[in-house]
Amino acid sequence: MKSKAVVFYAPERLELRDVELRELGSDDVLIETHWTSISAGTEKMLFQGKLPPMQMTSYPVIPGYETVGKIVQKGENVPESALNTFVYVSGSLGYIGVNAAWGGASSHIVSPFHKTIRVDNISDVSLGLALPLGSTALHAVDLAEVLRKKVLVLGQGAVGLLVAELAKHFGAELVIVTDLNAERLAQSSANIRIKADEQNLNDVLSGLLCDVVIDCTGSMKAIEQSFPHLTMNAKVILAGFYQRIDLPYHLAFMKELHFIAAKQWRIGDLERTRDLIAREKINVKKIFTHYGSAFNGIEKAYHTAFNDPTCLKMVLNWKED
């Protein structure tokens, strides 16, 4: 079976092309894609050729790990009730002659059924696209143990916005956020919002100390600047992506700071995030700022997603010509 897919075929080169899907196995489903969203972090690094070299990241490669679609075919071991349900899937390795990292940007996807997450309980099923970033934020907040704590969140990109939402939901006493972008700060639900290039943390916080800092910037400078505003034994949650960790040890030493590197999520976090969205406990719609068609202007859509600072998440619609 053929599918249309976004293919990165060389550094900073992409096109929409026909690709071959492998045959459906007995435990597989065929998903008709309705929406995908573009990662401005990992996918951008893949596009630029900056990810560690391995088979899955070698060109030509299909990107994408944020896909929502409908199950239209199933293998013999998959229950009949799965048909016509909407699911989130984090990509696919079900292609012939092209690599997948992670293979979600395709009009049709072959996936093991157990790797799909049903999203029919969300009133707007397209918001299932938020499951991976929401789960990343949820895991960071879990590690931070925010209940009755003062929480400083560095960065209000998509993950940072959701971290602030979740910290408040799980009982943080105070949520303070920083960012360089005024539009992102305006979307934040935090109690205190600080534009880091215009406002001084010392002036705004006036001696207030935080129990935990959650970094969503990937910036060593931003993390270092937060240290004076932390309590003794404060937690530092590293929720960004870092090539190297380079921080002044003496500042961490004096306060006996606890550093935790947050991976993506734990088993069950995708379902927890889905249910929080379905119950409208967190607002994920605000991270989807730009929309486009998968079939018209695909190069422009990726350029916007990777380079426009006002674009938190670009959503591609795969059901309109």
Domain boundary assignment for the chain: 2-120+289-317, 132-261
Indicate the CATH number of 2-120+289-317 among 3.90.180.10, 3.40.366.30, 3.40.50.2000, 3.30.450.40. 3.90.180.10
Distance between CA atoms of residues 161 and 177, nearest Å: 9
- Strands (E) in 132-257, as ranges, are 150-154, 174-179, 192-195, 210-215, 230-238
Quick one: tokens of 90? 């984090």
Quick one: tokens of 42? 């990992």
Give the pLDDT score at 241: 80
- Alpha-carbon distances of 111 from 27, 72, 314, rounded to whole Å: 9, 12, 23
pTM over 0.85: yes
pLDDT bucket at 321, cuts 50 / 70 / 90: low
Q: What is the CATH number of domain 132-261?
A: 3.40.50.720
Quick one: tokens of 273? 């995030």
Give the pLDDT score at 86: 98
Distance between CA atoms of residues 281 and 273, nearest Å: 10
pLDDT bucket at 46, cuts 50 / 70 / 90: very high
Q: What are 306-315's pLDDT values in tens digits?
A: 999 899 999 9
Give the pLDDT score at 157: 95
Average of per-residue pLDDT across 13-38: 97
Helix (H, G, I), strand (E, B) or coil at 212: strand
Q: What are 76-106's pLDDT values in tens digits?
A: 999 999 999 999 999 999 999 999 999 999 9
